[in-house]
Structure 1
Amino acid sequence: MPEPLVLPTITNGEHTLREWSHDDIEVLREAATDPYIPAITTVPQPFDPATAAAYIDRQKDRARAGTGYSFVVVEGSRPIGNIGPWLRDLDLGRASIGYWLVPSARGKGTATRILTTLSDWAFATLHIPRLELYVEPWNTASLRAAQKAGFREEGLLRSWQEIGDNRADMLMFSRIRSDTDQTRNRNG
């Protein structure tokens, strides 16, 4: 059984990644209106305060169970999304990152910045050799964000994930610790 994890607060100057609180429930109301977020997550749709509170509890339980870090993404004082590394394959030297942003927070480079921030933190603090990210081939915004955050496309995983009632192909991206080290060396 994995040990419980301590969830830190991480900031990049523009965004803060911190533990979920029941005060963050309004971001779930906006997320529930998005046609895609509830299909790929357990964000409740339609929005209901009780099931939204249960969602927040599940996010907090990930750290307690030692299975991952689930951060609410905050811009200024406003929660705008969720991001975290899931540690199911940590014993194999890898973790997968999942994230979502509410529609009003998209299109401003936020996904790139939070992916970079979380990845740098995971490499430096958790000493994870490899991070993986799975993106739908049609999701051009997430494809660009992954590439700009230093992830490299590795290939198409056919019928990889169930989304709603269908199986979906996913593109697999990875970022390894040496990618980060090489970037640092080039940038001084």
Structure 2
Amino acid sequence: MTARSDLPPWPDTAPAHGGAVLRRPRTADAEMARELATDPYVPLIGTLPAHASSDEAIAWVERQRARYDDGAGFSFTIVERATGAAVGSCGLWLRELADGRASIGYSLVPSARGRGLATDALLALTAFAWTVPALHRVELRIEPGNTGSLAVAERAGYVREGVLRSHEEIGGRRVDMVILAVVRPSGPGPGHARHRTRSDPYPG
């Protein structure tokens, strides 16, 4: 794992794109976490318990707050710009920063889906990734049947590169993962396919 001393500082300006703003997690985000825990898939890919209690949700938020200090990377709360409401969580994970690679994970509460916020959050997070000088590649891993998340990734400029067969265990079964990636931009723009550009399982 990357040491905290090797991580870049937190951004002075919150990453944002369209209707989504990314900020540090706060204890008040526990209510968002409780809704996130009602999704049947999210608890399978992280440490947020299904139908989390208030205490369990607070503990999960605290784990997100600790990701940076632990050297894992950046965990952000996704906020809807128009309302200021916390609507999800996303992370830029830098375990392979020394090799110029990172992975991303994101989850949106059920009530906030269908409004483009996941795509906006992914674009904001990817643009932030390119402020890290050592990064040259950002990856996502998504189950083939997760068509919604695949569509989000492709709208954000991620390119499908193949399928990792029987890549990991989720919910007691071995699953394939589609791998998608973007590489460091060679021109302007927040995400232009190759030129800007269940995701990597969110460590929750």
TM-score, L = length of structure 1:
0.90
Tell me if the contact between 1:120 and 1:180 (Cα under 8 Å) persists in the aligned partners: no
Aligned length: 185
> Which runs of 5 or more residues in structure 2 are unaligned?
196-204
Tell me, yes or no, if structure 1 residue 118 matches structure 2 residue 125. yes
Deviation at 1:137, TM superposition (A): 0.2
Structure-2 change in CA distance of 1:85 and 1:141 (3 Å): same
Q: Secondary structure at the match of 2:144?
A: coil
Structure-2 change in CA distance of 1:181 and 1:94 (3 Å): farther
Moved over 4 A (4+): 179-182
**Aligned position for 2:10:** 7
Tell me if the contact between 2:79 and 2:87 (Cα under 8 Å) persists in the aligned partners: yes
Equivalent residues in 2 for 1:53-92, closer than 5 Å: 53-75=58-80, 76-92=83-99
Tell me if the contact between 1:150 and 1:179 (Cα under 8 Å) persists in the aligned partners: no
Q: Secondary structure at the match of 2:63?
A: helix
Deviation at 1:69, TM superposition (A): 0.3
**Aligned position for 2:168:** 161
The percent of aligned pairs where both chains have the same amino acid is 43
1:80-106 deviations in Å (ceiling 9; x for gaps): 111111111111110000010011111
Equivalent residues in 2 for 1:75-154, closer than 5 Å: 75=80, 76-123=83-130, 125-127=131-133, 128-154=135-161
**Aligned position for 2:32:** 27
Q: Secondary structure at the match of 1:85?
A: strand
Deviation at 1:180, TM superposition (A): 6.0
**Aligned position for 1:43:** 48
Deviation at 1:34, TM superposition (A): 1.0
Give the alignment's Cα RMSD to 1 decimal. Answer: 2.1
Deviation at 1:26, TM superposition (A): 0.5
TM-score, L = length of structure 2:
0.84
More relative contact order, 1 or 2 (CA 8 Å, 6+ apart): 2
Tell me if the contact between 1:132 and 1:174 (Cα under 8 Å) persists in the aligned partners: yes
